Structure formats: structure tokens, C-alpha cells
Copies of this chain bind each other. A is one copy, B any other.
Amino acid sequence: MITQTSMTDSVEGESLLANYLRDARQLVIGDIRSMLPDRYRSVLYDIMLDYPLRTAKALRPALCIAICRAFGGSLQDALRPAAVIELFHNAFLIHDDIEDGSKLRRGEPALHRKYGIPIAINVGDGMLALATRSLRAGTTGLAPAIRERVLDIVDEMGIESAEGQALELAFTRWGHFKLTDRDYIRLVYKKTCWYSFVAPLLIGATIAGADPAVYVPLRKLGAYLGVAFQIHDDILNLTGAAEPYGKDLSGDLKEGKCTLILMHALRSANATDRLRCEWILRKPADGRGEADLRTLEAVIHKHGSIDYARAAADRATGLAARTMDRSRDWLLPSTHRDFLEAVLGYVTGRDR
């Protein structure tokens, strides 16, 4: 169990991370199951469990639970919001996979490849509706002002995520290729950081009744963690082995996805190379063949763009580590704080 006592008994480092994640995931999946009405299972609700039941870390709900407990809040209060964060995450993944034309998710076919785009869109919409309702229904025990603040954060999360996705689609679909690193950071902050790190941390702290003064450092921590996480994800997509990674290798290039790597390469390339790359990126995803991907890779390697991205990820990691260190001013020692520190290592050293 993910309780103070049992968690302090467990060993340090990687197994603390693995154990904490496993325990949190089990609780969260159980709570998600309890949200599903006992009707229309085969055409709607059972399909909602498809992504959550695939092999996944369930990092986001664990973060929410850990920060809440680290601030002295209860597991009971944090569980429903944490489970709802996981539900939102999976609903976003379903729609993103359609939008990005992704073929694989967690090593299995993307949901729209199993059930078709229409059913996948509707299952995602149903999950958003269920998440919203379950959050409100499952938090009536919180103090009204705290509950309102939690609901505000979740509302904000939906907006930020849609804006982030819009910026990314503008890149891939409308050829807005002239992005600076700042533009990229803004995109990632909205698209990844918010629902993966900022919202789980803010929600967990809010539930525990933490002093609002910590919202600013928590927001920063979430941003740094998210940026490091996303850049590493992008590097892994280009360099990782397909199996442990569980997504299409070089899928980002195939999808024409906006990454720091690709943007650095575009910016550094001479006019001929840049025009050639942009011409390739303007093709529909299905139109980019192996030769196109090799061309993009060549330009990326020519300009050391992967090393450039690695350095940027390291800077973000450094900032996250410094913010985490400072959190010792307001977070008492606990297994939960240890877990948060272990997450920092995972985000930047993971092989998933």
C-alpha cells in the first residue's frame, strides 16, 4: 500500500520509484473502474480502459498523490483527482493519436487503429465527460474553496492542453516552421507540462491545503520537469530501440512533429537543405517515405541537433533539480518527497 509506513519500509532509489508507481497505478486503476457505469460496456466504457490497462507508468496520478501526501494531505482526498488526471491523460492520448496519425501506443495499435476513428473520438469524448463528472462527484468531501480551486486547475488544464495541441498542429499541418526555442518551450509548456506535471503538482498541493505561496515554485518545477521529459522523449524517438519505447521509432519525423531537434536543424541548415526539409515536412504523413526520413535525419546529424537538444534537456533538468532542492524549505522529509526526487531522475534518465 502507498501509505507512509509501508512506503518508508521499501528500499531507496529505483525500487522506491517502481514500487510507488506500481502502488499508485493499482489504486488509480481501481478508482477508474469504480467510475464506469454498469451499462453500454462493450460499445463505450470497456474501451475506456484499453489505454489505461496497457503497460504504463501512471506517472501523473502518482505525482499528484505524492505531493499531496508530502504536504501532509491524505491519500483518500488525493485519489479521485489523481485518477481523474489519469483519465484525462488517456483521453488526450486517444485524440492526439488520431491527430498525429500515430500507429502505436504503448507497444500496441493506437485505439483508432483497433476501433476506427469514429469510435475512438467518441470514447475520448466520453472519457472527458466521465472525468469531469467523477471529479465533481468524488470531491464533495473537500472544503468548498479547495474543491473550487481544484476544479479551476482542471479547467485550466483543458484549455492549456488544447492550446498546446493547436500550436503543434499549426506546425505540422499549416507549416508554421519558423519557431524559436522560446516558441517551442511555450508549446511544450502548454501541451505537455501542464497536464503531465503542473496540474498534478498544483492539484495535489491544493488538496493538502498547502500555502498558495508554493504554487509559483511548483509551477516552475512542473515546467522544468515537463520540458526535460519532452525533449528526452523526442531524443528517444530518434535514437531509442523500438521495443522498450513502445511507439513508432522515428515516428516524430514521419508525423512531421515539432521537436527542438528538428527546429534546430531547420534553423542551422543552409537555404537548400532548409527548403528541401520544409518541402518534405509539408507532405502529408503518409507521403513521407524512407528516403525523406533519411534526408531529415542527415540534416539533423549534420548540425548536431540531437546534442543541442540533449544540452537543452540537461539545462531543464538542472533547473528542475535546483527547484526540487529548494522545496526542502517547505516539504518535510518523507517517502513521498523521496519519490518526487526519484521522479526527477526518471524523467531524465529513463529508458522506459
Residues of A within 8 A of B (CB): 37, 39-40, 43-44, 95, 98-101, 116-119, 121-123, 125-126, 128-130, 132-133, 136-137, 144, 151-152, 155-156, 158-159, 161-163, 165-167, 169-170, 172-174
Contact = CB atoms under 8 A, between A and B. Distances in A.
Given A116-B173, A167-B40, A169-B43, A122 B155 contact: no
A267 B165 CA distance: 45
Given A133-B158, A155-B136, A162-B122, A174 B98 contact: no
B133 A155 contact: yes
B129 A117 contact: no
A155 to B, nearest CB: 4
A166 B136 CA distance: 23
26 contacts: A40-B167, A43-B167, A43-B170, A44-B163, A98-B117, A98-B118, A99-B119, A101-B118, A118-B169, A118-B173, A119-B166, A121-B121, A122-B162, A122-B166, A125-B128, A125-B165, A126-B166, A129-B158, A129-B159, A129-B161, A133-B158, A133-B159, A136-B152, A136-B155, A137-B155, A144-B144
Contacts of A152: 136
The 5 closest A-B pairs by CB, nearest first: A129-B158, A126-B162, A99-B118, A133-B155, A44-B166
A122 B151 contact: no
A125 B173 contact: no
- In the assembly, how many copies of this chain are there? 2
A314 to B, nearest CB: 30
Contacts of A37: 159
Contact of A163 (B101, B126, B133, B169): B126
Given A118-B98, A119-B173, A40 B155 contact: no
B125 A162 contact: yes
A40 B133 CA distance: 28
A322 to B, nearest CB: 30
A292 B30 CA distance: 47
